Structure 1
Amino acid sequence: MKVCTDACVLGAYADVRGQRLLDIGTGTGLLALMAAQRNSAANIDAVEIDEAAFGQAMENVAASPFADRVRVVHERIQDWTGKSANQLYDRILTNPPFYTNHLRSPDAAVNRALHTDELPFEDLIVAVNRLLQPDGQWWVLLPPYETKTLTELAGEAGLKPLRRLSLHHNARKPAFRIITGFSYGEEPLINETLDCYESDGRTYTPEFRALLRDFYLIF
C-alpha cells in the first residue's frame, strides 16, 4: 500500500500520549512508527490482517530505530485481545477501510485495505470499546460522509468526538478527509482546518509544513 498524505497528517496530528498505543490495520506500519517517533515512552501494538502488509510492516519496523517498542501482529482486530491481562490502550489510531458499494480491484489486498467487508464500522467500534482505556482516545481518518456515519455509530457506544481536523487540498476545495479524535468524556468539540497546498495546488502551506516537518525529508 502506498503512503498517503492524509495518513501522514493523521500520524502527525493525533494525540499519541500514553504508554500503550494500538494501530488498527497498520498496513506499512506508518502510523505506529510515527507514534513511536513522537512518543519515546510508548509501546505500540500494530495489528494487520493482510499477510503481505504484515510482512512489509515487519520489515519497516525492523529497519527503524523503534523496533524495540513496536510489535507487529498478524491477526484480525476482532480477535485481538492485547495479550496483556487487564491492560488496555491509552490511544488507538485507525486509518480504516471505508468503501462499501464501489467497484472492486482484482487485487485482494487492495480490497481488504479499502473496502469494509473485513472490518465493518460496527466491528471496529466493538473492538475499540473492548480495548480502549476509560480515559483513552481513539483517532480515526475517514472521508466526510463516512465520518458522519461512524460518529453516529460511535455515539451509540458512548464515544463522543472531542477534536476534528478537516483536510482540504487547498482553501477553495471542500474537505476530502476528516480526522476525528473520540473519547468517553463530554469535552466541547474543537473543529480545525488544514489546507495542504496553496492556491497553485503545488506549494505546501506553512501550516502543513510545520505539522509534517519532523517526518517529510523535503522539509
Structure 2
Amino acid sequence: MFRFKQFTIHQNRTTMKVCTDSCVLGSYADVGLGGRLLDIGTGTGLLALMAAQRNPTAQIEAVEIDNAAFQQAIDNVNDSPFAKRVQVVNSPIQAFSAEPFDRIWSNPPFYTNHLRSPDSAVNRALHNGELPFEALVASVHRLLKPEGQFWVLLPPFEMERLITFAEKTGLRPYRQLNLRHNAQKPVFRVIAGFAFGDSGASETNELAIFEPNGKTYSESFRELLQPFYLNF
C-alpha cells in the first residue's frame, strides 16, 4: 500500500508497483485544464488519480488489459475522492474506442528480447509483446485530438525507438525530461511529450532524484512531488 496526500494506492494484486519514475511522469506531464484524458495501461490507477488531482475538472478514462490490475484500479479509484471523474476500462488499447482525447499518457511495457517469466501477468506488465511500440503509437494517433498531447515514460534506448515510430505518424517530441538517480549517474528514464506537426526545437530538461550522496532527495524532486508525497 502506498499513501499519497489525497488518495491511497493498494497494489497487492498487481505486478507493476508504484515506482519513483512513474510518480515523476504523473507530476510532470502536462495534463491540461478540463477536457478528456486517457491513461493507457493504468495498472493500479496511479497516473489516472494523479491526473485527476492535478486537473480537477477533467474526465479520465483508464484502460487496462490485465484482469487483476483492472479490478485493483477500480478499487483504488472508488476509494479516492475522484471516483466520479475516472472510468476504468478492461480492454487492450488496440480494441478500445472512444471520442478523441486532449491528453494521452502511458508508462508502457518495454522489454523485447529479455528472458520471459512463467507468470503471464509479469510478461504483460514488463514485455511489450501485447503492446509493441508500433501498436501504441497507432492507438495514440487514432485516439488523440489534432491539438492534443501524448506523454510517455521509457528508458533512453526504447524512447529513441518510439520516437522513430511516432514521427512516421506526424507525432513529434517537443519536450523531454531526462531522469538520473543523481547528477553523477547516467540517464535511466526519459519522459517525453509529443504533439502533431512541427513544434520547432524541442525543450530538454534534467531531473536528479537524489543529491550526490544518493540518499537525500534533491530540492527539484521534492518540489515536483510535493503535491503528492506525504513526507514532502
In the alignment, which residue of structure 1 is the partner of 2:12?
none
Out of 208, 211, 215, which is 2:221 matched to? 208
Partner of 2:178: helix, strand, or coil?
A: strand
Partner of 1:15: helix, strand, or coil?
A: coil
Out of 15, 27, 33, which is 1:12 matched to? 27
- AA aligned to 2:230 is L
1:60 CA displacement: 0.3
2:211 matches 1:198:
yes
Structure 1 CA distance for aligned equivalents of residues 197 and 178 of structure 2: 21
2:73 matches 1:57:
yes
In the alignment, which residue of structure 2 is the partner of 1:36?
52
Equivalenced residues, count: 215
Structure 1 CA distance for aligned equivalents of residues 211 and 194 of structure 2: 30
In the alignment, which residue of structure 2 is the partner of 1:160?
172
In the alignment, which residue of structure 2 is the partner of 1:184?
196
2:150 matches 1:138:
yes
Structure 1 CA distance for aligned equivalents of residues 230 and 116 of structure 2: 34
Partner of 1:73: helix, strand, or coil?
A: strand
Q: TM-score w.r.t. structure 2 length?
A: 0.91
In the alignment, which residue of structure 1 is the partner of 2:119?
107
List, as ranges, runs of 4+ consecutive aligned residues in structure 1 with deviation greater than 6 Å.
none
Percent identity between the two aligned chains: 62
- AA aligned to 2:90 is H
1:185 CA displacement: 3.0
Partner of 1:103: helix, strand, or coil?
A: coil
2:3 matches 1:3:
no
Structure 1 CA distance for aligned equivalents of residues 194 and 174 of structure 2: 6
1:186 CA displacement: 1.9
1:115 CA displacement: 0.2
Q: TM-score w.r.t. structure 1 length?
A: 0.97
2:104 matches 1:92:
yes
In the alignment, which residue of structure 2 is the partner of 1:21?
37
Partner of 2:83: helix, strand, or coil?
A: coil
- AA aligned to 1:178 is V
- AA aligned to 2:30 is D
Unaligned runs of 5+ in 2: 1-15
What's the RMSD between the two structures over aligned residues?
A: 0.7
Unaligned runs of 5+ in 1: none
- AA aligned to 1:191 is T
